[in-house]
Amino acid sequence: MPSLHQQLLESLSTAVLVVDKRLCIIYMNPATEALMEASDKRLHGHAIDELFTEHPSTTDALKNAIEDATPYTKWEASLTLHSGQTLEVDYVVTPSLDPNPTLIIELLPRDRLKRISREEEMLSKQETTRILVRGLAHEIKNPLGGIRGAAQLLARELHGPGQQEFTNIIIEEADRLRNLVDKMLGPVKSPEISELNIHEVLERVYQLIGAESQGELTIIRDYDPSIPELGGDREQLLQVLLNIARNALQALESDPGLSEGKLTIRTRTQRQFTIHNIRHRLVLRIDIIDNGPGIPESIKDQIFYPMISGRADGTGLGLSIAQSIITRHKGLAECTSAPGHTKFSIYLPISR
């Protein structure tokens, strides 16, 4: 049974790494495993540079810290993980000499702080946008109802089919505008939460996108089979994931210089993850990645807002609705994009 100290370390959101005097790993808490995308069991006893490397190398500084029993702090360090991913962190190195010389390394990811700050700013802007849209929708729908009613009354007074054709146009266009406003407001139906296997939903997305691309798109499924069931509305989550995957497919099809389009669907778990100022012990992360041309820089920060689209024929409502659905699931959707690599990440809390 784990000791009290180990239980405390494993419940921390701060990543804690312990190495011996040879700089070999002797302990990683779950927060470190999630941050470094590696397991303590696999790397136990291995050199620290198999977990990450830093440029310029700090191996000498770590050795001096353990030999001289001198703690130190490093700000804005850039670490390269074994997967090739770059991580920006602050870390504190504390030597411990009892009973054997060890180094306790506490890592605080700077990108996490930036993400939380960016998330708060984005949610604040989206809430302001929703309030404006709701107010605008109310002001539009009221006169639309009057126009539609007047057109219906006028149609009853007209006898020639040619004249009634014009009133039908008025009614149809009023209905079209009302439907557009309803879409801007997002889904009216609250999610019907039930236990579901997210991979069953993703397999449906895989089948549909595979059929729509007619086999001309390489789709890579990179699933973590250990992910437990989570609570969610299957149809609404399918709508979100299918919308994002279709956006990726359309972006790939619109890139004439692309020799081979690739779409990656990946699932992972993350521990001690903060969403909407709430820290969750376990979170599902779904990544949908394509190697298309990327999102235009001019709209990159506004793609989740209504009426923002990178396509001439786009309505700009799909991602806004997707974000609204994910928010109703207590989750978060975000995007990073550069030419050749666009990644949409969806975070959903997993309750045990």
Q: What is the CATH number of the domain that holds 38?
A: 3.30.450.20
| Residues 94 and 200 grouped into a single domain | no
- Mean pLDDT across 293-297: 86
Shared domain check, 169 and 259: no
- Most trustworthy range by pLDDT among 77-81, 124-128, 218-222, 299-303: 218-222
- 180 and 243 co-located in one domain: no
Query: Which phi and psi (to 5°) does residue 80 adopt?
Result: -105, 115
**288 compared with 189, residue with greater pLDDT:** 288
The total number of structural domains that make up the chain: 3
Residue 251 CB burial class (10 angstroms; 0-12, 13-18, ≥19)? buried
Looking at the structure, do residues 211 and 326 belong to the same domain, yes or no?
yes
Residues 179 and 224 in one domain: no
Of the pLDDT bands very low, low, confident and very high (cuts 50, 70, 90), residue 127 is low
34 part of a folded domain: yes
Smallest CA-to-CA distance from 276 within 332, 323, 350 is with 332
Assess whether pLDDT exceeds 60 at residue 113.
Answer: yes
Q: Which amino acid is at 167?
A: T
Report whether pLDDT(1) > 50: no
**pLDDT tens digits, one per residue of 65-75:** 998 889 999 98
273 falls in which pLDDT band (50, 70, 90)?
confident
Does 218 share its domain with 140? no
Of the candidates 25, 102, 98, which has an alpha carbon nearest to the alpha carbon of residue 67?
102
Higher pLDDT, 208 or 34: 208
Indicate if the pLDDT at residue 315 is higher than 60: no
Task: Please state the rounded mean pLDDT for residues 253-264.
Answer: 85
Round to whole Å and give the CA distance between 45 and 43.
6
pLDDT of residue 129: 66
Residues 11 and 27 in one domain: yes
Average of per-residue pLDDT values in the chain: 83
According to the per-residue pLDDT averaged within each range, which of 55-59, 182-186, 337-341 is highest?
337-341
Closest CA to 222 of 41, 49, 83: 83
Q: How sure is the predictor about 197, in pLDDT bands with cuts at 50, 70 and 90?
A: very high
Last residue of a domain, one of 161, 184, 207: 184
Q: Which residue range is the domain that position 291 belongs to? A: 194-349
pTM of the full predicted structure?
0.62
> What is the CA angle 212-218-221, rounded to 5?
100
Give the pLDDT of residue 141. 75
236 and 343 co-located in one domain? yes
For residue 160, is it within any domain?
yes
Say if residue 21 is in the same domain as residue 167.
no
Residue 312 has pLDDT above 60, yes or no: no
Binned at pLDDT 50, 70 and 90, residue 220 comes out as: very high
pLDDT, position 176: 84
Place 93 in a pLDDT band, splitting at 50, 70 and 90.
Answer: very high
Indicate whether 306 belongs to any domain.
yes
In a domain, 178, yes or no: yes
Q: Tell me what percent of the residues of the chain surpass a pLDDT of 70.
A: 86
Rg over alpha carbons for the chain, rounded to the nearest Å, is 26
* 146 plus 268 within the same structural domain: no
Residue 141 resides in a domain: yes
Confidence of residue 28 (pLDDT cuts 50, 70, 90): very high
User: Any idea what the CATH number is for the domain that residue 302 is in?
Assistant: 3.30.565.10
User: How many C-beta atoms surround the C-beta of residue 295 within 10 A?
Assistant: 21
Tell whether 96 and 136 lie within a shared domain: no
Helices (H), the chain: 4-11, 30-36, 40-43, 59-68, 110-157, 161-184, 198-212, 234-253, 318-328
Q: Would residue 189 count as lying in a domain?
A: no
Same domain, 80 and 121: no
Mean pLDDT calculated for residue range 98-119: 78
Report the DSSP beta bridge partners of residue 347. Answer: 285, 332
Query: What would the mean pLDDT of 268-294 be, rounded to a whole number?
Result: 86
Q: Residue 345 above 80 pLDDT? A: yes
Q: Which carries the bigger pLDDT value, residue 195 or residue 186?
A: 195
- Domain-ending residue, one of 110, 138, 169: 110
Last residue in a domain, options 131, 163, 184: 184
